[in-house]
Each structure stands twice: as structure tokens, then as C-alpha cells.
Amino acid sequence: MATDAEWARIRRDLRFGRVFEGAVVKVPRPGAIGIFVDIGLSVGGFVDVLLLPNEGEDWPAEGTVDDFEIWSGDSRQQVRLKPSDPRYLRTDFADFVERVRPSWPSEVGQPVRD
């Protein structure tokens, strides 16, 4: 776990849409929670279940290495990600973004905020 100062330093450099190569390190309950991803920082990455395919067997398995983009930020010391590979995204991702986060395209490149 990073110190508050380390997290503040890391966070200053985070931008929506920034791509990290990451390794899936934990899939605690396929189809139910999300996945934990090591992106090479002192804080972990996480992909929420809402961004992943409906069926847990379509999720990337532990050990999968792929590209992940910064999707959101909050007060937790965790980088919230979305898979770059469309096979690991929910099938209606474009519609989901339009409904839930229509500003996403204009946010890419902007600093991550709570």
C-alpha cells in the first residue's frame, strides 16, 4: 500500500484513457465483482464488473496480460480501469457509455479527479 504522499504523486500523473499494460492478478468472483490488475505502480488497478462481459467465463483470467485504460477515479488508492481489448468489455459498451458516461470521449487525456 502506498503512503498518502506517494498516492498524491502517482495521482498527479494519471489521465483518463492512459493505457497501462497490466496482468490480471485476482478474479475473486467471476461474474460478480470485477478483476484486480497489476499495472506496475505501488497501487493496484481494478476493473469493475459493470465494464466486463456478462458471463464470468468471458472475463480475462488470472495471469492474462493485456492493455487497460484509466476509466475513473475516486478517493480509494486504486486505479480504476477498463479493458482496452473489446472482447473483455461488455457487449453493449458503446451504449453503456452513452447512457452512463456520455462525456467520456472529451475526458480522455484529462487529469483523474475524485
Q: Does some domain include residue 112? A: no
**For 41, which DSSP code?**
S
At 41, which CATH number?
A: 2.40.50.140
**Average pLDDT of every residue of the chain:** 93
Our count of domains for the chain comes to: 1
Q: Residue 110 domain-assigned?
A: no
Q: So what's the pLDDT on residue 105? A: 93
Comparing 6-10, 53-57, 102-106, the range with the smallest average pLDDT is 6-10
- Parent domain of 81: 4-103
Structural domain contains residue 33: yes
pLDDT in tens, 84-100: 999 999 999 999 999 99
- SS3 category, 105: helix
Runs of H (alpha helix) within 59-100: 93-100
